[in-house]
Structure 1
């Protein structure tokens, strides 16, 4: 396994999620400050929107609008270029827990996950992803998944999602109507690993954050189909939550690292930094 070093890029955050690279800038959601942020090349940042229901997954539409998962409301909020906000989709009837990550396709379709249960209060329960059409209509898709988290779409239209509590990356084939078929395990991980946010590189590897640990096994790992771990960026003393490739050449891996515990997370206590690493791979362009 190849090891890579990281460097701190940006500090002063609370709990970052949903990293995305879009139009030359890094974007992120901050759960606890309830803000959507963009970052400059020097690590400084701007709060571009406030989402009262706590923002999570992010995506972008061709007209310049931003889609944001509002966790507590279990909705997808649409932020227009002028800052106006509206509810794009309401998926609450299909969500057993608060909203979570999301990926948006070039056609404006979105796939959204949710916790499936009240984290820390209930035993883990399965849920389903939801497909949000460009017009905002919502349908559950795919099979039962356990704490679906980060998502990526391959060039051949395969949706990959991390199942945090099943310790695996799962694959689905995207159908023409947006539904998901042919569910299979793409990579089974060790039971001690809890994959969170993911990013796809141009060579077909998936980078994932191993969350829920502050120990030496925290870090961002690269796994290939079948489950072989090839690379790691070690992150000590923080949850390794989510990552995205960015930079002009898509060769910088940006990583959200959150210092918290499950107990502190429930109390809204966390500090967060963005780190970077040059891992020798180029990111796969957004689909």
Structure 2
């Protein structure tokens, strides 16, 4: 395909595109919605989040997991259309998400070091938390300077 084709217009700040089951899913941060569109441009709102639906991924059971960053929560959207708390991560600021084949869900929380005194050279600190299939959250790793933080099912996660 050499030409570009516009599928969706009139949206705000669109992020986190994911291809799943023949449709493109994405979050519209300005509206608090997760949407899906097919190649013909038919678009539907899949979920509405009263905060910020930052990132999304699919659980092996087929449910859509959405990162609600400001609330520090993982939300579960079921095939029946229900949206419920899947895990409380205990603090805001969570970003991207990856789910392994066992259903363990990893989300990254990055922030700048408060102890850094040189604003020209910020020291990033990130942590990755894992929510097991039973939805219990636990801190897995902390890292600096882009060291590998974990390897899950052949996918390396990096903390910066």
TM range (shorter): 0.7 to 0.9
Distance 1:100-1:146 versus aligned 2 partners, 3 A rule: farther
State the partner residue of 2:69. 71
Q: Which residue of 1 aligns with 2:115?
A: none
Q: Is the 8 A contact 1:34 1:50 kept in 2?
A: yes
Q: How many residues align?
A: 147
Structure 1 segment 1-287 matched on structure 2, within 5 A: 7-9=4-6, 10-93=8-91, 98-117=93-112, 125-145=124-144, 157-161=154-158, 163=160
Higher relative contact order (CA 8 A, sep 6+): 1
Does 137-146 or 30-39 show the bigger shift? 137-146
Superposition TM-score, scaled by structure 2 size: 0.77
Runs of 4+ in 1 over 6 A off after TM superposition: none
Tell me by how many angstroms 1:7 deviates: 2.3
Distance across 1 between alignment mates of 2:94 and 2:51: 10
8 A Cα contact 1:37 1:45, kept in partner: yes
Q: Structure 1 pair 160/62, CA: closer, same or farther in 2 (3 Å)?
A: closer
CA contact (8 A) 1:30 1:36 kept: yes
In structure 2, the gaps of 5 or more residues are 113-118
Distance 2:29 2:67 in 1: 11
Q: Which runs of 5+ in 1 are unaligned?
A: 148-152, 164-287
Q: CA RMSD in A?
A: 2.8
